[in-house]
Every structure is written in structure tokens, then in C-alpha cells.
């Protein structure tokens, strides 16, 4: 079951909300665990079994670790075994799935990396040992973050399982955020993906300079609207069930530098890597070389988060080099330039990065780069590409517009001037958006 | 605070409305509740989504509105089909060269064993003829059917006489040659093929004045409308050409080598069947004879076809005593073995590019060496 599906929207969600809010407050985390397990069962029963076994093992190992003194070597061994088990599961299963062309089990990155974080946190005394299997399981299998995160530290989630009074007035915004997430995925993300997929079926002879520039633009928009759509849905759903989840994207395509972009794109992954890798490595407090290495390791991992392919690795290296360039003084020069120029500069570099990201091989990416620069004798534009853009132009324009903060700023202005008008307009707009999204799900 | 509460209630209510509507309309009965086996197989969500989508309250309205919006935003192609109010046209990919070669070889082999002269008509699809309905920018990437037909014709031996269906249709491209919602040729399209085939087959095609034309069905929606659902396309008109001269009539014999069921030509009750275009040759029995009630010609024509131009054969039949139509998609091997081509004066192979270039039916049924 997907979050942007009819059965989830109009069967699972209303039923879950009704059940969750009908139960007494002290029982709600148990109900939410039940809801999450049913979601898992409906979506991928086999993955549920994997999650149950892995998370229960982490729970048991955590309790075992608690038995030993702080400086006991066995404690360290248990922590390392928890980290090792989860990383092995994450990398092993992901690699296996990628090699065999099958889908990675639902929630695998979420529950394994959360397990790693939990092991390190309790070992360092930064989180309390969990004694409730249900709460531990809930934190790992919370249904809204299973498809695509965001990655949250265990203790951040755990603090929110305390019984709270449901506030009806606070449920409108999460519901709106959820609808916004669906709309991002089905109205803008899906057409961008379709356009990209069609362009990627072009043979080298069919490509033109125009189609090669269009491809990374579509890829960038498709990835953004797909992932940020998921995150908005997760955050919205979290709000409806009384759990606050962090945002994962903060208008990354209007960043003013590559360093800024990395901080705005896949924020929760960046934060996770900083917490568990960058900080322990010493951040950038050492020499330039060690700082560069630290930044390099984190950014590379940020790149291969999307999979284990040479192109993703190169994508990470591309950003490492650009960040190091900005740190070495180029960044200071950039900061003196007008904001508009900085945004164009950053977006252009990000766009070029998607040529690496989406290439099936290094050779293909090189061909694309050459073609984009007009080398290799490619025509400026061909009819098939122009025809495609004639089909998708309005979606592309809307995607570019909604990837900026402009609509949000307009909403803010209206809310400031007239809260009632903003509420009415918001209700109408979100109602229409849900109807439209439903239409796009029914008739993609 | 109050406005926030109202906003929240409204937003939450949105998620409950479809389920409530489903309850009010009794749509729950159509919902498939997955069983334990479905859960174990991992198909539970898929089953539920599919059935819920089918019974979703206001589904057709929502889909039609979404489709209209997508069209307004510039979309005019879906699932490989161009669409406009004037029709749905299949954007054919390049033909499969291997299948084409096999089909041509099968024709050569079959013809080589016959003494009767053989004729080959390869008719183009609407995408090749009605190019004015295709967006200009998409024209360049269209499969060139004219070249394909010429290539196929050129590869056949002199045993075959080829019929230029492409130009017969192209010279009347502004007329109603293809259905808007069906890939098959209209009766009018078939009339122009009939005219074009006359010289080669040896008859003098009758002008339109010799026929009275009736239009018994005005809202036909063909199989393409299912492939491109909710596309805003005008429904079709089914026309019948009745030969008037001397009130000579024709009748059909379904499965003449088996049960031999005799029926009248253009049985109007078939317009209510699943496929109203059966009206031209009757319910598909694989082999159909069209016989003259009062024959003045002696000729017998054997036709192998694919069902793409059924309306053509009642027109050709007025020049023959017997016309036997074999639909290679419906005929069985047993039926085929009973047919003796030597009994016929001429053999016509009439296929559409859409079938001949992609479907090995011809080589499968007529035999690959």
C-alpha cells in the first residue's frame, strides 16, 4: 500500500484516525503500533517479518547492553554488533536488491539506520535504554516514515509517545501538509518522471542539445517532488497522529551555494550523517586536509544514500569537490555577488550534477555533458523533444514555480493580512487539490 | 482559534467523504476484501486498490474531469495513442522486421503452391493517412508506413499482384475513412479500397451512385476508447453500403465447411452485440462465405484477412459468385485444412500494417517453412 493511493487516503487513513482518537490517550501509542503493523502487512508482508526480527533483536541487545558497566568491553562489543548487524542488513540487502533488480524492502533504511543510531546513543549515554518493546517497535516501524523517511533520532521520536491531548485546531495544518505531499507526488512528480523516462528512451542519434538540458531538469524536479512529497505526507500524517517529524527539504533549488544546497536537500540524512559520522570524526576542527577528508566522507555517503552505483559515488565526489572549493575561498567571493546570480550559479551546478546522477554509466554521462555543451554535432533541438515539451510544458513551469518558496511566501502574506480569508482560501484550495490529486490517482 | 478548528474539521472531513458516499450508494458491495492468501502473496493492497478504484464514488466524473484538464494543459497522447475530438490514432512503433520477414515468407510459400493468381493488399492505419490529426512536431517520429508497404511489396515475387491501398486512401484523407474510436476502416474507407482494388482484381468498381448508404448506429464506441479511456473523442457512425443495381442481393454463410449457418447480409441485430462491426461479416466464425442470391458472375475469390477491413468484402462480393473470407485471427487449423485454394479463381491477402508488421498470425496460420 502506498501513501498516495486511494485505499490509503479514503479507507486506511480515516479508519486509523477514528480508531486512534477513540482510544484513551494512554493507549494511543499501542494503537499507533497496531496501525503501523497493519500498514506494513498490507504493503509488504515479507518486509514486516524482516523488520520484526531485526528490531526485536536490537531491543534485546539494548537490554543486554544495559546489564554491563559503562567501561565494560562487552558493552562495546554489543554496541558494535548492533551497529554491524544493522549496517550489514542495510548494505547487504540493498546491494542484493540492486543486483537482482528488485525493490528494497519497505522501511529497511529507516529501521536499520535508526537501530544504528539507537545503539550509538545508548552506548554514549545520549539516550535512555528502552524497556518497552511496543514503544521501541513503534519508533522503528512508524508507518508514515516507512516509505521514504525522514530519518529521525530514536530519542526524538520516543519523547513524543507520551500521552497528549489531541488538539482539533492543530490538525488542519497537518492535513493540509499531507494533501500538499500527495499533490506534489501525483500532479507534478509523476509527469516529470514520465517526461524524464520518455527522454531517457531516446537513442544517442535522437538526442539534441535541448533534450539533454531538459533531462537533468526533469530528473531534478522528479526527484524533488517525489521525495519531498513523501516527506510532506509523512510530516502531515505525523501531525494527525500527534508526532512531529522534521522537514527533509527546504527549497533546495533556490540555494545560494552548493554547501547551502547540501544543507537543504535530504536534510534528515545530512543531519544523521553529521551526528553519527561528521561529529565523531572531529568536524572541521583539525587541519584543512582532515577537515576536507571529513567533509568528503560525509558528502560521499550523502551521495550513495541513493544506491550503490558508480554514478552515485561520482555524484557525491562532485559535491565534495564543489564544497571544498567553496571552503577554500571561492565561497567568500561568491557571497559578494547578487543573490539572483548565486541562485542561478547553484542551480546550474545542481542541474549538471543530475547528469552524473542519472547516467547509466560514466560514458553516458560524458556523452550527455558533451552534448549539452553543443559538442558531438548534435542538433540544437529535434521534433520529438519539442513535441514532448509541448505535452509537458505546463507541468514543468508549475514544477519550477512550486520548487521555490514563492507560493509559500504568498500564503504567508495573505495569512498576515487576513487570517480568515487565508483560512477560507486555504480550505478551498486544499479541497480542490485533494479532488485533483484523487483524479490523477484514478486517471494517471 | 475558531477558524482553525473549522479549517481542521473541513480538512479531516475530506478524507471521510468518499467512504461515506460509497456507503450511501451501496458501493461497498463491489469492494473485494483480501483474504489471508492474498496477504501472504503480497497482493492484498493491490486487490483492494483495484476494487476500490472501480467502485469509487464519482469515478467517471473525476476521471473525465482530469482527462479534460490534462488535455487542456496540452496532452494529446496517451499510452501511445494520439487523441483529439476527431479520433484516436495509434502511434505505431517501427514494425518488427523479423515478424514481417516471416509473414512475407509464409505468403510466398503459400502462393508458390497455388495455381490461382494471388493479390496482396497491405492497408495503412489512420496514423499514416490522417496526418492532419497528429501534432506537427510528432509527425517526424511517426513510423513511415508508406515506405514499409513499398518495401513489403517489393520483396514479393512476381506471383503476387499488389494493390495500392495507401494512395487509394490518402487521396481521400479528408473523408471519414477510419473510425474515431476503432482502428478498423469505415465502410467509406473500405469503399475506396474496393475502388482501388478493382483494376488489379479485374472488375469495374461501381461508383457511389450505385449504392444506397444507411447509418444504423450513431454512437459507436470502439476498442480504442477503452485503450484511451476518458479521451474526449466523438463517437462513431456505422454505415452500410447497399448495392442497388437490379436489386441483386447477397447473403452470408457462416462456417460453410462446418455448421453452415445461413444469414442475411447486414444483420442489424448484431449492432447490439459486443462488437457492432460484426455487422459486415456476421459473428466471427473464422470462415465466412458471401454468396450472390442471383449470381451473374462466375468468379470465386478466396480472401485471407485479419479483420481490419471487413466492410470491404460485401462490396467486392457483388462482382463474384462466391467470396470466401478467412479471418486468420479466428480460423482454426482444422477449418484451414478444409479449404482448398484450387477451387478458387483468385486469392487475395488483405492485411493491415498494424497486424502484418507486429503479429505473426499470418506465418503461424499459413505456415512457416
Residues 6+ apart with CB under 8 A from A201: none
* DSSP annotation of B180: S
Say if B51 falls within a structural domain.
yes
Interface test with B, best of A10, A201, A430 (most B CBs within 10 A): A10
**Closest to B241 (Cα-Cα) out of B218, B276, B213, B208:** B213
Q: How far is A434 from chain B (nearest CA, A)?
A: 8
Show the cell assigned to A213.
538540458
Within a domain: B31 = yes
Please say if the pLDDT value at position B1 is more than 70: no
pLDDT classification of B368: cutoffs 50, 70, 90: very low
> Do A151 and A293 fall within a single domain?
no
> Chain B: nearest CA to A14, how far in angstroms?
6
Looking at the fold, whether A155 and A252 belong to one and the same domain comes out as no
Q: Say what the pLDDT of residue A440 is.
A: 93
CA A112 – CA A173 distance, rounded (Å): 31
State what percent of residues in chain B have pLDDT above 70: 96
| Confidence label for B247 from pLDDT (cuts 50, 70 and 90) | low
Nearest 10 degrees: Cα torsion B45, B46, B51, B54: 130
Query: By residue range, what is the domain housing residue A260?
Result: 172-404
Domain check: are B23 and B119 in the same one?
Answer: no
Q: Check whether residue A111 and residue A187 sit in a common domain.
A: no
Sort B298 into a burial class: Cβ within 10 Å, 0-12 / 13-18 / 19+: exposed
What's the whole-number mean pLDDT along residues B277-295?
Answer: 86
Using the Cβ of A42 and the Cβ atoms of chain B, whether some distance falls under 8 Å is answered with yes
Q: pLDDT tens digit string along A102-115?
A: 888 888 988 999 99
Percent of chain A predicted with pLDDT > 70: 97
Q: Strands, E, within B126-282: which ranges?
A: 160-163, 211-220, 236-243, 250-254, 261-264
pLDDT at B104: 92
State the SS3 of chain A. CCCCCHHHHHHHHHHHHHHHHHCCHHHHHHHHHHHHHHHHHHHCHHHHHHHHHHHHHHHHHHHHHHCCCCCCHHHHHHHHHHHHHHHHHHHHHHHHHHHHCCCCCCCHHHHHHHHHHHHHHHHHCCCCCCCCHHHHHHHHHCHHHCCCCCCCCHHHHHHHHCCCCCCHHHCHHHHHHHHHHHHHHHHHHHHHHHHHHHHHCCCCCCCCHHHHHHHHHHHHHHHHHHHHHHHHHHHHHHHHCCCCCCCCCCCHHHCCCHHHHHHHCCHHHHHHHHHHHHHHHCCCCCCHHHHHHHHHHHHHHHHHCCCCCHHHHHHHHHHHHHHHHHHHHHHHHHHCCCHHHHHHHHHHHHHHHHHHHHCCCHHHHHHHHHHHCCCCCCCCCCHHHHHHHHHHHHHHHHHHHHCCCHHHHHHHHHHHHCHHHHHHHHHHHHHHHHHHHHHHHHCC
Tens-digit pLDDT profile for residues A244-261: 899 989 999 999 989 899
Q: Is residue A320 domain-shared with residue A176, that is, in the same domain?
A: yes
Of A34, A221, A87, A232, nearest to A150 by C-alpha is A232
Residues B227, B277 contacting (CB under 8 angstroms): no
Length of chain A: 444
CB atoms within 10 A of CB B130: 22
Report yes or no for ipTM above 0.85. Answer: no
Quote the CA–CA distance of B252 and B174 in Å, as a whole number.
32
A24 and A105, same domain (yes or no): yes
Q: How far is B8 from chain A (nearest CA, A)?
A: 4
A149 & A44 share domain: yes
Q: Is residue A192 part of a domain?
A: yes
Last residue of a domain, one of B57, B73, B100: B57
Mark whether A155 and A182 lie in a shared domain: no
Q: Specify whether the CB–CB gap between B198 and B315 falls below 8 A.
A: no
How many domains is chain B built from?
A: 2
The answer to whether the peptide bond before residue A150 is cis (omega within 30 degrees of 0) is: yes
User: In chain A, whose CA is at the least distance from the CA of B6?
Assistant: A169
Please report residues of B whose CB lies closer than 8 A to that of A443.
Answer: 62-63, 66-67, 229-230
Domain boundary (B37, B57, B77) is at B57
Looking at beta carbons, which residues of chain B come within 8 Å of A45?
39-40, 42, 44
User: Per the domain annotation, does A439 fall within a domain?
Assistant: no
Closest-CA distance, A427 to chain B, in angstroms, reads: 6
pLDDT digits (tens, 9 = 90+) for B193-211: 999 999 999 999 999 988 8
Residues 6+ apart with CB under 8 A from B144: none
Residues 247-266 of B with CB under 8 A from A: none
> What is the arithmetic mean of pLDDT over B341-365?
90
Rounded distance between C-alpha atoms, residue B158 and residue A137, angstroms: 78
Cβ contacts below 8 Å, chain A against chain B, sum to 137
Q: Please, is B105 exposed, middle or buried when counting C-beta atoms within 10 Å of its C-beta (0-12, 13-18, 19+)? A: middle
Give yes or no for a contact between B200 and B163, defined as CB atoms under 8 angstroms apart.
Answer: yes
Over 80: is that where the pLDDT of B361 sits?
Answer: yes
Same domain, yes or no: B103 and B45:
no
Do residue B8 and residue B120 come from a single domain?
A: no
Residues B212 and B110 in one domain: yes
Domain closes at, from A132, A166, A200 = A166
Residue A431 belongs to some domain of the structure: no
Q: What's the average model confidence in pLDDT over B302-309?
A: 91
Give yes or no for A291 touching B (CB within 8 A): no
Shared domain check, A296 and A158:
no
Q: Are residues A345 and A370 in the same domain?
A: yes
Q: Minimal Cα distance from B31: which residue of A?
A: A7
* Interval A286-300: pLDDT, tens: 677 777 777 777 777
Residue A155 belongs to some domain of the structure? yes
pLDDT at B3: 62
How many angstroms separate the CA atoms of A132 and B35, rounded? 32
pLDDT value of position A46: 84
- Would you say residue B300 lies in a domain? yes
* Same domain? B37 vs B156: no
Q: Is the model's pLDDT at A282 over the cut of 80? A: no
The verdict on residue B42 lying in a domain is yes
Residue of B1, B39, B74 lying closest to A45 (CB–CB): B39
Residue that the C-alpha cell 481490419 belongs to: B308
Q: Which of A149, A166, A183 is the last residue of a domain?
A: A166
**Distance of alpha carbon A224 from alpha carbon A350, whole angstroms:** 12
Q: At what angle do helices A45-66 and A108-124 cross, to 10 degrees?
A: 0
- Three-state secondary-structure class, residue B254: strand
Work out the average pLDDT over A312-336. Answer: 84
Residue that is last in its domain, among A117, A134, A166: A166
Residue A216's closest CA among A326, A378, A391, A371? Answer: A371
Q: What is the pLDDT of residues B71-86, one digit of tens each?
A: 888 888 887 888 888 8
Question: What is the least distance, in Å, from the CA of B115 to any CA of chain A?
Answer: 47
Same domain? B44 vs B136:
no
Report how far Cα B200 is from the mean position of its chain's Cα atoms: 25
Confidence check: pLDDT of B369 > 60: no
Average confidence score pLDDT of chain B: 86
Report, in this order, helix, strand and coil percent for chain B, each rounded to 5: 45, 20, 35
Task: Assess whether B328 and B234 both reside in one domain.
Answer: yes
pLDDT of A138 strictly over 70 = yes
Q: Which of residues 267-306 of B touch A (CB under 8 A)?
A: none
Establish if B41 belongs to a structural domain: yes
Q: Count of residues for chain B?
A: 369
For the beta carbon of residue A100, count every other beta carbon within 10 angstroms.
Answer: 7
Q: For residues B83 and A228, give the distance between their C-alpha atoms in angstroms, rounded to a whole number.
A: 33
Residue A55 lies in a domain: yes
CB contacts of B53 in chain A (<8 Å) are: 6, 442
Cell of A336: 559578494
Q: Look at B11 and A394 and tell me if their CB atoms are within 8 Å.
A: no
User: Do residue A142 and residue A221 come from a single domain?
Assistant: no
Query: Do A157 and A224 lie in a common domain?
Result: no
Report the distance separating Cα B318 and Cα A336, nearest Å.
88
Q: Count how many domains chain A has.
A: 2
Our CA-based measurement puts residue B227 at a distance from the nearest CA of chain A, in whole angstroms, of 12
Of chain A, the percentage scoring pLDDT greater than 90 comes to 34
CB-neighbour burial class of residue A319 (10 A; exposed 0-12, middle 13-18, buried 19+): buried
The set of cell numbers assigned to B96 is 518488427
CA A316 to CA A314: how far, in whole Å?
A: 5
Task: Check B66 against A390: CB less than 8 A apart.
Answer: no
Residue A434 domain-assigned? no
* Alpha carbon distance A222, A39 (integer Å): 26
Residues 121-160 (B) with a CB less than 8 A from some CB of A: 135, 137-141
- Give domain status of residue A259, yes or no: yes
Residues B44 and B139 in one domain: no
- The verdict on B355 and B214 lying in the same domain is yes
Q: Of B15, B73, B229, which has the smallest distance from its Cβ to A10's Cβ?
A: B15
Q: Are residues B47 and B151 in the same domain?
A: no
Clarify whether residues B46 and B102 are in a common domain: no
pLDDT at A305 over 80: no
Closest by alpha carbon to B311, among B182, B203, B223?
B182
Is residue B71 a part of any domain in this protein?
A: no
Nearest chain A residue (CA) to B69:
A436
Residues 188-227 of A with CB under 8 A from B: none
Residue B76 to residue A391, Cβ atoms within 8 A: yes
Confidence band, pLDDT 50/70/90 cuts, at residue A279: confident
Q: Closest to A430 (Cβ–Cβ): which among B3, B11, B65?
A: B11
Contacts of B16 in chain A (CB under 8 A): 14
Q: Is A168 on the interface with B (CB under 8 A)?
A: yes
User: Does B353 score more than 70 pLDDT?
Assistant: yes
Q: Are A214 and A147 within one domain?
A: no
Question: Residue range B270-295: average pLDDT?
Answer: 87
Note whether residue B69 is domain-resident. no
Asked if residue A107 lies in contact with residue A68, where contact means CB atoms within 8 angstroms, the answer is no
Q: Given this model, what pLDDT does residue A285 score?
A: 67
Q: Is the same domain home to B201 and B119?
A: yes
Q: Do A42 and B135 touch (CB under 8 A)?
A: no
Query: Can you read off the three cell numbers belonging to residue B183?
Result: 482502428
> Residue A163's pLDDT band (boundaries 50, 70, 90)?
low
Is the pLDDT reported for residue A168 higher than 80? no
Residue written as grid cell 482501388: B196
Which domain range does residue B231 map to? 87-366
Residue B182 lies in a domain: yes
Examine residue A83 and state whether it is found in any structural domain, yes or no. Answer: yes
Q: Can you tell me whether residue B240 is helix, strand or coil? A: strand
Residue of B152 and A102 predicted with greater confidence: B152
Q: In this predicted model, what pLDDT tens digit does every residue of A22-66 receive, in sequence order?
A: 888 888 888 999 999 999 888 888 888 999 999 999 999 999 988
C-alpha A362/C-alpha A368 separation (Å) is: 10
Higher pLDDT, A179 or B138: A179
Amino acid at each position: 500500500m502506498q501513501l498516495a493511493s486511494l485505499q490509503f487516503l479514503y479507507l486506511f487513513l480515516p479508519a486509523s484516525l477514528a480508531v486512534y482518537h477513540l482510544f484513551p490517550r494512554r493507549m494511543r501509542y499501542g494503537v499507533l503500533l497496531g496501525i503501523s503493523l497493519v500498514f506494513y502487512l498490507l504493503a509488504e508482508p515479507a518486509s514486516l517479518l524482516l523488520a520484526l526480527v531485526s528490531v526485536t533483536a536490537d531491543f534485546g541487545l539494548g537490554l543486554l547492553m544495559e546489564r554491563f558497566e559503562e567501561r565494560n568491553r562487552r558493552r562495546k562489543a554489543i554496541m558494535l554488533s548492533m551497529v554491524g548487524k544493522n549496517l550489514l542488513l542495510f548494505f547487504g540487502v540493498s546491494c542484493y536488491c540492486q543486483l537482482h533488480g528488485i525493490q528494497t524492502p519497505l522501511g529497511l533504511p529507516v529501521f536499520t539506520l535508526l537501530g544504528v543510531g539507537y545503539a550509538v546513543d545508548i552506548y554514549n549515554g545520549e539516550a535512555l535504554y528502552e524497556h518497552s518493546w511496543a514503544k521501541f517497535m513503534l519508533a522503528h516501524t512508524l508507518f508514515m516514515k516507512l516509505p521514504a523517511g525522514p530519518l529521525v533520532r530514536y530519542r526524538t521520536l520516543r519523547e513524543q509517545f507520551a500521552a497528549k491531548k489531541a488538539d482539533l485546531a492543530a490538525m488542519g495544518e497537518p492535513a493540509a501538509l499531507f494533501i500538499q505531499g500527495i499533490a506534489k507526488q501525483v500532479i507534478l512528480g509523476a509527469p516529470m518522471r514520465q517526461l524524464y523516462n520518455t527522454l531517457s528512451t531516446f537513442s544517442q542519434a535522437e538526442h539534441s542539445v535541448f533534450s539533454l538540458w531538459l533531462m537533468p531538469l526533469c530528473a531534478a524536479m522528479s526527484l524533488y517532488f517525489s521525495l519531498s512529497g513523501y516527506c510532506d505526507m509523512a510530516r502531515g500524517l505525523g501531525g494527525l497522529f500527534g508526532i512531529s517529524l522534521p522537514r527533509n527539504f527546504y527549497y533546495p533549488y533556490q540555494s545560494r551555494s552548493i554547501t547551502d544546497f547540501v544543507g537543504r536537500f535530504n536534510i534528515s540524512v545530512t543531519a544523521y550523517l553529521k551526528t553519527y559520522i561528521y561529529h565523531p570524526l572531529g568536524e572541521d576542527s583539525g587541519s584543512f586536509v582532515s577537515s576536507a577528508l571529513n567533509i568528503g566522507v560525509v558528502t560521499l555517503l550523502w551521495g550513495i544514500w541513493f544506491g550503490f552505483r558508480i554514478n552515485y559515488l561520482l555524484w557525491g565526489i562532485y559535491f565534495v569537490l564543489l564544497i571544498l572549493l567553496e571552503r577554500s575561498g571561492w565561497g567568500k567571493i561568491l557571497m559578494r555577488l547578487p543573490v539572483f546570480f548565486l541562485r542561478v550559479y547553484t542551480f546550474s551546478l545542481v542541474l549538471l550534477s543530475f547528469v552524473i546522477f542519472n547516467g547509466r554509466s560514466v560514458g553516458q554521462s560524458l556523452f550527455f555533458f558533451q552534448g549539452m555543451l553543443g559538442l558531438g554535432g548534435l542538433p540544437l533541438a529535434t521534433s520529438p523533444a519539442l513535441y514532448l515539451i509541448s505535452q509537458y510544458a505546463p507541468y514543468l513551469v508549475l514544477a519550477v514555480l512550486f520548487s521555490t518558496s514563492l507560493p509559500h511566501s504568498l500564503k504567508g502574506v495573505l495569512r498576515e493580512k487576513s487570517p480568515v480569508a487565508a483560512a477560507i482560501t486555504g480550505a478551498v484550495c486544499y479541497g480542490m487539490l485533494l479532488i485533483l490529486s484523487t483524479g490523477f490517482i484514478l486517471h494517471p | 482559534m475558531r477558524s482553525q478548528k473549522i479549517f481542521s474539521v473541513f480538512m479531516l472531513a475530506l478524507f471521510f467523504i468518499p467512504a461515506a458516499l460509497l456507503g450511501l450508494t451501496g458501493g461497498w458491495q463491489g469492494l473485494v476484501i483480501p483474504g489471508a492468501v492474498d496477504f501472504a502473496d503480497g497482493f492484498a493492497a493491490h486487490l483492494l486498490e483495484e476494487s476500490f478504484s472501480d467502485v469509487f464514488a464519482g469515478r467517471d466524473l473525476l476521471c473525465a474531469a482530469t482527462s479534460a484538464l490534462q488535455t487542456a494543459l496540452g496532452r494529446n497522447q496517451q499510452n501511445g495513442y494520439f487523441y483529439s475530438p476527431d479520433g484516436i490514432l495509434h502511434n505505431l512503433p517501427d514494425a518488427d522486421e523479423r515478424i514481417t520477414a516471416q509473414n512475407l515468407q509464409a505468403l510466398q510459400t503459400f502462393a508458390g503452391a497455388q495455381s490461382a493468381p494471388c493479390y496482396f493488399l497491405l492497408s495503412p492505419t489512420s496514423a499514416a493517412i490522417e496526418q492532419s490529426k497528429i501534432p506537427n512536431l510528432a509527425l517526424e517520429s511517426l513510423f513511415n508506413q508508406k515506405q514499409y508497404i513499398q518495401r513489403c511489396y517489393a520483396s514479393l515475387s512476381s506471383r503476387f499482384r499488389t494493390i495500392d491501398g495507401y494512395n487509394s486512401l490518402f487521396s481521400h484523407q479528408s473523408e471519414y475513412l477510419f473510425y474515431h474510436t476503432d482502428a478498423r476502416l469505415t465502410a467509406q474507407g473500405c469503399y475506396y479500397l474496393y475502388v482501388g482494388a478493382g483494376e488489379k482484381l479485374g472488375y469495374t468498381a461501381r461508383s457511389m451512385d450505385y449504392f444506397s448508404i444507411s447509418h444504423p448506429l450513431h454512437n459507436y464506441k470502439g476498442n480504442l476508447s477503452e485503450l484511451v479511456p476518458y479521451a474526449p473523442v466523438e463517437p462513431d457512425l456505422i454505415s452500410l453500403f447497399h448495392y442497388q443495381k437490379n436489386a441483386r442481393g447477397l447473403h452470408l454463410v457462416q462456417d460453410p465447411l462446418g455448421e453452415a449457418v445461413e444469414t442475411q447480409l447486414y444483420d442489424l441485430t448484431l449492432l447490439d452485440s459486443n462488437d457492432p462491426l460484426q455487422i459486415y461479416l456476421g459473428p466471427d466464425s473464422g470462415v465466412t462465405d458471401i454468396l450472390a442470391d442471383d449470381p451473374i458472375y462466375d468468379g470465386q475469390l478466396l480472401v485471407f484477412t485479419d479483420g481490419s477491413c471487413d466492410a470491404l468484402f460485401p462490396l467486392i462480393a457483388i462482382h463474384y459468385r462466391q467470396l470466401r473470407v478467412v479471418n486468420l485471427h479466428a480460423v482454426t487449423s482444422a477449418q484451414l485444412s478444409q479449404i482448398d485454394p484450387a477451387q478458387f479463381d483468385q486469392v487475395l491477402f488483405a492485411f493491415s500494417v498494424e497486424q502484418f508488421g507486429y503479429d505473426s498470425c499470418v506465418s503461424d496460420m499459413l505456415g512457416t517453412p
